[in-house]
Chain A
C-alpha cells in the first residue's frame, strides 16, 4: 500500500498502460419533461502519468463525465450503457461502499469552488485528517497523520502551521493549494480537476497550474482537467478532448488538435479564443445556441450550427474516426474541408 509521497514517487510509470478507460458511456438525466441525453457514446483512455483535458461550453457534458467517474451524480442520473474501467475494474458495477473505498484513494478530485470545498467551522488539518481516518484507520496514528499532512502541505507550497488554521484565514489561492493537498492525501493514481483555477486571479492561477503540473510529473499521477478555458487546457495537458452537446467530437494529442483542429466546432472554439500573443487576428464567433438535449438534433449534433453541414450530417451520425496518431474526429467532412480557415473567410 502506498501511503507516503515517497512511495508514490518511486512507483513505476508505464505511459502506454491505460489507467482509466471510459468506454462508450451513455448517461441520461431523468427530468419531468423526459430524458436529457447529457453524455452520449463517449470513449477515451487516460494512460498512466498522462494529463487529459476535456473542453467544451456549459452543458456539453464535461462535468457530468467528471461526476460519473466519481459516481457522484445526482439521483436522477441514469447510466444507460457503457463502462468506466479503472485499472480494468468497472466502477459502474461497484456497490456504494466499494466506491467510497476508492474515492480519494484511487480517484481524487479538485473542485471548482475552493471557497465552498471546505467546512468553515473546522480547521483545514482536521478536515484532511478525516480522509486519512476513513482510508487508513488503524494504519496511521495521530502523529503519523500529522507528519503526513505536513509533508502534503510542503508539497503544495503551504507552511505546515497553516494546518491549524480555519478556511477563512486562507486566501483563494492558498485554499486551492489546500484542496490539492487534500486530493494528494491518500496518494491517488488519478486526480480529476474540474475548473481548478476558474475563480482565481491570473497570477495565482498560473502558480496553481504550475504546482499541479510539477506534482503530477513528480508523483507520476494522471490528471483529467475539465475546463471551459482553452488556454489553460493548452498549457497543461498531453491529450485533449473537445465536447459538444454530450458528444466527444474530437480527441487527440493536444499539440495535434491545436495545430490541426479537424472538427468544425473544435476549430471554431479554438479560433474564437482571444490571446495576448501573436497577431491580433479576427475572432470567429459561433452562430446560434447549443441544442436542447431533451431533443438532441438528428445525425451530427452540431449540424444546425455547422457552416459545412450537408444532408448526410442531418440524417447520419458521424463516428469518432481515427485519422492517425491517435487523433480522432467525429465529422463526415473532416477531410473534405482541408482548409477551414480559407473556407470560413469566404
Chain B
C-alpha cells in the first residue's frame, strides 16, 4: 500500500520507491562503505492543482525529496512519473536536454529571499531569466509577461520595480519577486522549500495567500516543504510526515491534525506551541533528538525514540504504510494499541 490518493485520471506526479543514498567515504581513495539513507523508498502522488505538504524535522529527507523531484540531485533509485498533457515521462531517468524541457514545467521557491537572488541583476533580469533560458517569445513578449507577473504578485505599479535591484526591496517584496520568477514560466509543478519561514508573521500570511491564490488561478501543484505544521494547515490539501527518510503517515491535512495515528506525528503535533494561553497541550513525550540514517537497521526507523516500541517492532522490518482511515495511511504496527492508550485528541482546553 502506498501513500496514494484515489482520483479519477492520472495524478500529475506519481512517485514510487524513491531513494537517495549519499555515500560516506572513509579516506580519499577508498570505496564508500557507509551510506546515509536520506530518502529511503518513499511513494506518493500529487494530483493536479493539489498541494502536498512534506513535514518533518531537519534531516528527515524532506528537502532532498524536493530536490530530486526537480532533478537538482539524481535519485539512486525509484521512479517519478510526471504527466502533463501530452508530456509523460519518468523524470528519474531523463538526462541532458530532456531535463531542460522538464524544467519548463517545474520550478522552485527557496527559503531565503536574500540569498536566492543575484544582487547584481535587476528585478526584470531575475524574473525574465527562465524565459530567456527556455527561449520563450521575443524580448517585448518577455517584457509584457514580466510586467503581468509583477502585477499578479502585487508589486504595483510594475514599471517602478522593473529596474530595481534586490537590495532596494524589503524581505516581503523580494519573496514576491521570487514567486513571480517561479510562476513566470507557467509551471504545472512547484517545489516550495520553506518559502515563508524567514518572513515576519504579517508578511508571511500575505505571501501564503498570494501563493495559494495564484496556484488556484494557474492550476499549479505544490510540494510544500515545511517544518511548521500550522503553516502546512493553511497551505496544504494533504500532509505526508517524514521521519529519517521514510513517510510514516500521510492523509488529508485536517484528518492528520485531528486524528494523528503514528506516535511520531502525535509527538510532533503535541510539541507545536499554541498561540492561545488558555490552551494547555498534553505532551506525547519522545526520547532524544533525530539521529542520522547511516546504514539504518531494518526495523522501524522510529524505534529508538518511540515510547511505545514493543517486541513486534523489534522483530519486524520497518512497517509498511497501511490504510487507517479515509485516504489516511500509517506506518506503525501498534496503531490500535497506542490509540487505546492515548486516545486521539492531543490538546485539552483549560477551563
Contact = CB atoms under 8 A, between A and B. Distances in A.
Contacts of A204: 289
Given A201-B290, A203-B267, A285 B172 contact: no
B303 interface: no
Most chain B beta-carbon neighbours within 10 Å: one of A235, A259, A268, A269? A235
B289 A277 contact: no
Nearest to A232: B273
A203 B57 contact: yes
Contact of A277 (B173, B201, B271, B276): B276
Given A269-B202, A276-B229, A280-B234, A254 B277 contact: yes
A270 B276 CA distance: 9
B289 A203 contact: yes
B276 A274 contact: no
Given A202-B227, A204-B289, A268 B202 contact: yes
B233 A280 contact: yes
B279 interface: yes
Interface string A272-287: 1111111010011111
A292 to B, nearest CB: 10
Interface in B217-247: 227-231, 233-234
Interface residues of A, number: 41
Interface in B182-201: 200-201
Nearest to A202: B271
B272 A202 contact: yes
B38 interface: no
A162 to B, nearest CB: 14
B231 A274 contact: yes
A102 interface: no
B201 A231 contact: no
Contacts of B257: 276
Contacts of B234: 274, 280, 283
A22 B204 CA distance: 31
Given A202-B272, A203-B286, A230 B201 contact: yes
B205 A235 contact: no
Nearest to A286: B202
A277 B276 CA distance: 9
Contact of B202 (A57, A202, A229): A57
A283 to B, nearest CB: 5
A289 interface: yes
Contact of B274 (A209, A277, A286): A277
B272 A228 contact: no
Contact of A231 (B204, B205, B273, B347): B273
Given A173-B289, A203-B267, A286-B202, A277 B279 contact: yes
A234 B283 contact: no
B116 interface: no
A255 B276 CA distance: 8
B84 interface: no
A81 interface: no
Contacts, number: 118
B269 interface: yes
A289 B170 contact: yes
Contact of B275 (A172, A275, A285): A275
Nearest to B60: A201
A203 B202 contact: no
A259 B350 CA distance: 14
B156 interface: no
A240 to B, nearest CB: 9
A58 interface: yes
Given A201-B58, A284-B205, A206 B271 contact: yes
Nearest to A237: B277
A171 interface: yes
Contacts of A286: 202-203, 205-206
A13 B257 CA distance: 41
Interface in A220-255: 228-232, 234-235, 254-255
A258 interface: yes
B227 A201 contact: yes
A43 interface: no
Given A57-B202, A269-B201, A285-B205, A276 B286 contact: no
Nearest to B254: A280
Contact of A285 (B171, B206, B278): B206
Given A201-B57, A201-B227, A286-B205, A258 B200 contact: no
Interface string A188-202: 000000000000011
B230 to A, nearest CB: 4
Interface in B311-336: none
A145 interface: no
A45 interface: no
B307 to A, nearest CB: 13
Contact of A57 (B201, B267, B275): B201
A258 B277 contact: yes
A315 B288 CA distance: 55
B276 A278 contact: yes
B209 interface: yes
B172 A289 contact: yes
Interface string B259-294: 000000001111111111111000100100110000
A205 interface: yes
A213 B277 CA distance: 14
A258 B272 contact: no
Given A172-B289, A283-B205, 10 more contacts: A58-B200, A201-B289, A203-B289, A205-B271, A269-B201, A275-B274, A276-B257, A276-B274, A280-B254, A283-B209
5 nearest CB pairs, A to B: A286-B202, A206-B271, A231-B273, A274-B230, A57-B200
7 contacts: A57-B202, A201-B57, A202-B228, A203-B267, A229-B273, A274-B205, A276-B272
Interface of A: 57-58, 171-174, 201-206, 209, 228-232, 234-235, 254-255, 258-259, 268-270, 272-278, 280, 283-287, 289
